[in-house]
A and B are shown apart, each in its own frame.
Chain A
C-alpha cells in the first residue's frame, strides 16, 4: 500500500524515468558485446517512453500549435556538421598521396643513398621514419573516420521513439529490394509496397492532429540533438587522434635529429 501511494505521488515524468531505470537494470546485465537482439529487448523501455510522450502531448490545439512553432524555430538552428573533420581528412589524403609518390622514388634511388656520408644517411633515415609514421597516422585517422561514418545510431533501431514518420523514411517506407539489377517480380513487389506506403502516408498526413504534429516535431527535435552529440564527439575524437599522432611523430623526429647531431659532434646513442 505504501509503495502504491509512493508511486501515485510521483509525477508522470518521474514515473516514466523510474520505469526506464528499473527495466534497464533488469535487462542490461543479460546483454553482452555480441548480442545483436538488443533492440527487441529494448522494446519494453520504448513502450514505456511512448506511453509517456503520448500522454504528455495530448494538449489543446492552440497549445500544440504554439509549441510546434517554438520547436521548429529551435530545430532549424541546430548545427549538425563539424568544421574540423573535412580539413583533417584532406591533410591525411595529401599525406598518403605524397607518401605513395615518396615510396616509389625511394625504391628507385635507395642504392644511391649509400654513397652519402653516414650522418646524411642517418638524417634521411630519420626523415623517412617520420613520414612513415605520418602515413600510419593518416591510415588510422581514415579508418576511424570510416567506422564513424558507418556507425549505426541506436535511434534507427527504435520503432516508436526514433525518427519521426514525417521526417525520415524509416517509419514511412517498407523495406524492398535495393539490388540495382532487378527482375519483373521484384519490381512488381516494390511497386505494391510503394502503393500501400502511399495510402498509409496519405491517411496519416490527412488525419494528423495537432497533438500528432507536436509529438512528431518534439521527437525529431530531440533526435537531431542526439545526432548532434554524436557528430560533435566523433569530430573531437578524430581531431584528438590526429593531434596525438602528429605531435608524437614530430617530437620523435626532433629527438632523433638531436641525437644524430650530438653523436656527430661528440658521443651519442645513434
Chain B
C-alpha cells in the first residue's frame, strides 16, 4: 500500500458536516439568544384592535364626563349674581 492523491483530497462529508454544525448552532443561538422581536402581521393586527377598543372606551368615558361637566355648568350660577343664588335655592330637590 502506498499514499496516493486521494489521501489529501477534500472529502464532501467534511463540508456537509461543517455546514450542518455551523447552521445548527447558528439557528439554535439565533432562536434562543436573540432578543429581536419582530411581530407578525396577525399579532400586530390583534394588538391594534385591542388598542382601538381601549381608545373607544376611553373616548366614551371622555364624552360622558364632558356631558356631566356641561350639566354641572348649567346648574352652577355665575359669580356675584343674587338671581343665581335665588335660582339655586328655588331648584327643587330631585325626587327619589
Pair from one complex: yes
Q: How many A-B residue pairs have CB under 8 A?
A: 65
Q: Which one, B3, B7, B22, B34, contacts A252 given CB within 8 A?
A: B22
**Interface pair A251/B36, CB less than 8 Å apart:** no
Q: Which one, B10, B19, B21, contacts A243 given CB within 8 A?
A: B10
| Residues A248 and B21 in contact in the complex (CB < 8 Å), given A133-B26, A240-B10, A240-B14 | yes
| Residues A244 and B17 in contact in the complex (CB < 8 Å), given A114-B35, A249-B22 | yes
A161 at the interface (CB under 8 A from B): no
A144 to chain B, nearest CB (A): 14
Scan A237-270; emit 1 where CB is below 8 A from any B CB, else 0: 0001001110111011001100000000000001
**Interface pair B14/A129, CB less than 8 Å apart:** no
For the residues of A in contact with B, the DSSP-based class is helix
B94 at the interface (CB under 8 A from A): no
A229 to chain B, nearest CB (A): 8
A121 at the interface (CB under 8 A from B): yes
| Alpha-carbon gap, A256 to B29, bound state (A) | 12
Scan B7-18; emit 1 where CB is below 8 A from any A CB, else 0: 110110011011
**Interface pair B18/A129, CB less than 8 Å apart:** no
| Alpha-carbon gap, A122 to B37, bound state (A) | 10
| Alpha-carbon gap, A132 to B3, bound state (A) | 36
B90 to chain A, nearest CB (A): 65
B47 to chain A, nearest CB (A): 15
Q: Which one, B14, B17, B23, contacts A255 given CB within 8 A?
A: B23
A18 at the interface (CB under 8 A from B): no
Contacts of A256 in B (CB 8 A): 26, 30
B38 at the interface (CB under 8 A from A): yes
Contacts of A132 in B (CB 8 A): 29
Contacts of A121 in B (CB 8 A): 34-36
Contacts of B22 in A (CB 8 A): 133, 245, 248-249, 251-252
B42 to chain A, nearest CB (A): 12
**Interface pair B18/A245, CB less than 8 Å apart:** yes
| Alpha-carbon gap, A165 to B12, bound state (A) | 45
Q: Which residue, of A121, A129, A236, A256, has the highest number of chain B Cβ atoms within 10 A?
A: A129
B64 to chain A, nearest CB (A): 40
Q: Which one, B14, B15, B36, contacts A122 given CB within 8 A?
A: B36
Closest to A121 in B: B36
| Residues A122 and B26 in contact in the complex (CB < 8 Å), given A240-B14, A248-B19, A248-B21 | no
B25 at the interface (CB under 8 A from A): yes
A25 to chain B, nearest CB (A): 17
A15 at the interface (CB under 8 A from B): no
| Alpha-carbon gap, A130 to B23, bound state (A) | 10
